[in-house]
A and B are shown apart, each in its own frame.
Chain A
């Protein structure tokens, strides 16, 4: 039996007297974590085989060092979880050459010869294209990407530029912004040169300056959109915007307007009420004159004969020796001028008062160069009013056209029906505001620089020249068709 006079010190009355310890668990955790997450992963840097073995084992490998997933485009076997594919040397940032080993064909994002941008000196691919971060997107979407340079172009080092400084959109929550988004400008086509050789130049004009479109089209939207409808051959027809304006396949801009498809139902080219199935062709005025002359010559001959010639008479005419009737014709010259006279008076009517004049600006050319002295001023409607934005009609399809385009009150084709900035700002706001509107970043509406300077675009030539050429190509196609006058409104 133990001594009943047990001293109090024999009782275990404090935690220090128990098996609990701070020392050995501290060592265990310290050394254990270093071993598991530093020493073992470091071993995988020594050989590729060991790295592969470790990465496929339950033991921690250098994969335990990965701070976040790669973006989806980089999640390929060669790169994913294969750290040294990009991190070639330790304690060194990922070098551009490493990126270019795959992306050799990638363009510069802007013309580096043209823009010796000070701010970008020393930037690397990875300065903007960040990996291992959420959200998993390798292409930057944030406003700062744009604002860094565009908030002050002079400070950025781009001198003599037409670009306007922009540092915010909507009611940015930090209100001391000095360069809010400017009012919109449109790229409007304007004719230059002569009637025969018209060049269409793009002119950038501010919407706020109430620009006048010089398309040479005569078209009042208001008359076509009256609620009770317009006179059509079958009776009253009520037109909606989409009776003429339909999205293109991409859902962004509008399909070109076409005379045959969109106008000719109502605007027939009939020139003689007695012959409602005879029309003049839509297009070259000389052909119109020829058509009229031919038509009225026939009418004249029929009137002279009083009937259609019989097949026998036609056959005899064909077998007759040539030259026999010359004298008679000379005698009849005076009378025979009649069909031409009739054709001219009808031509004057349709060119100067009715058919053509309804939609076209008509000029007179008395030089005698052409069969027709009436010339139809060439028409070109602007197809892409806002080429510097990436507007998508399809994503706005729940809205009424009239919420942006005031067509019902427009009485002239010279009206520019494009909405200005406040219209967009009624729904959209900047990405860092507390307004109850759709937060929209710069690239919500704008491409990164110009279309052909996207990474996989064409060569880095002057963007505007290229856009002009595209415009010209489009216009020459429509001119060849001569029926097409192209789409009116896109932002």
Chain B
């Protein structure tokens, strides 16, 4: 995926953005404004217009992504251009304002734009770093496949538990097993699994992080049992929980990576709408106080 974004059509948009940036920088260098560079000179207005149009176009990626029937270029191409032109925007907008900042709506628009772009940089970082990690973590499986395996293991465990007279214990461990959860839990890959100890107070759960407690309990039970059938079932349970343990850690890492791949968008997108509002006010005000 990342290859196609960064190297789309031989890095076509990298060159477009580079030429745009260099042209802006050269114009800024050659420019001789009254006092110092600012948005009110001819170059300031030119760079401002380019910047504003870029912002609107960059935001249209959200529309293009959803227009499946559109034939205005591929989403891949759009995303590649989005990344490079978005980066160029950082320079263009900075040259536009001539580094003149204040506590006003104009600087608010700039700050929002910078945060949006920086969050985008984080997005690119995740797109470059995580897909490989995700693939190697899942070893060719899909998340649904992994969850299905968990389901199968759970079914086997519940069946074995009946024979070994451990239904209550195993069901509590199966039900108490946590996968994912809130956005924070997903991103932290946190494990809040619980279970109920046999003979313990009803409704009182104990921690079963990484399925270690259930494995410990089953191991103890195995050492105490004399019954060979029960012993066989408990051994089967132990093997299943051990397998589940491995699967769970892969699932949690997968969920975490998926989260990291997407979480920045929850800042990137709303902040771009904030930026769009601030940019609109900026433009209206600039022409109101022409």
A-side residues, CB < 8 A to B, are 1-2, 4-8, 11-15, 17-22, 25-34, 37-38, 60, 63-69, 83, 87, 90-93, 128, 130, 133-135, 137, 140-145, 174, 432
Closest chain B CB from A170 CB (angstroms): 15
How far apart are the CA atoms of A137 and B35 in the complex, in Å?
A: 8
Most chain A CB within 10 A, of B39, B154, B270, is at: B270
How far apart are the CA atoms of A12 and B251 in the complex, in Å?
A: 12
For B262-284 the 0/1 string (1 means CB < 8 A from A) is 11011001111110111011001
Partner of B151, one of A7, A30, A135, A143: A7
Closest chain B CB from A95 CB (angstroms): 11
Main DSSP-derived SS at the A contact region: loop
Instruction: Decide: A37 near B100, CB < 8 A? Known: A26-B273, A30-B273, A144-B34.
Output: no
- Residue pairs across A and B with Cβ atoms less than 8 A apart, 8 shown, are A4-B154, A11-B179, A15-B259, A26-B272, A29-B277, A37-B281, A133-B35, A140-B34
Interface size of B as a range? 35 or more
Query: Is A1's CB under 8 angstroms from B175's CB?
Result: yes
B-side residues, CB < 8 A to A, are 30, 32-36, 38-40, 100, 102-106, 108, 143-144, 147-148, 150-151, 154-155, 158, 171, 174-175, 179-183, 186, 251, 254-255, 258-259, 262-263, 265-266, 269-274, 276-278, 280-281, 284-290
Closest chain A CB from B252 CB (angstroms): 9
How far apart are the CA atoms of A449 and B113 in the complex, in Å?
A: 44
Beyond the given pairs A83-B289, A130-B35, 7 more chain A to chain B contacts, judged by CB atoms under 8 angstroms and listed by A's residue number, are A6-B175, A14-B186, A15-B258, A18-B182, A22-B265, A32-B277, A64-B104
Instruction: Decide: A133 near B288, CB < 8 A? Known: A67-B106, A140-B34.
Output: no
CB-CB < 8 A to A93: which residues of B? Answer: 290
How far apart are the CA atoms of A83 and B285 in the complex, in Å?
A: 12
Partner of B38, one of A33, A37, A133: A133
Query: Is B175's CB under 8 angstroms from A13's CB?
Result: no
Instruction: Decide: A20 near B40, CB < 8 A? Known: A34-B280, A68-B102, A135-B35.
Output: no
Closest chain B CB from A251 CB (angstroms): 28
Query: Is B273's CB under 8 angstroms from A29's CB?
Result: yes
Closest chain A CB from B55 CB (angstroms): 13
How far apart are the CA atoms of A457 and B258 in the complex, in Å?
A: 73
CB-CB < 8 A to B254: which residues of A? Answer: 13
Most chain B CB within 10 A, of A19, A37, A64, is at: A37
CB-CB < 8 A to B266: which residues of A? Answer: 15, 20-22, 25
How far apart are the CA atoms of A442 and B102 in the complex, in Å?
A: 30
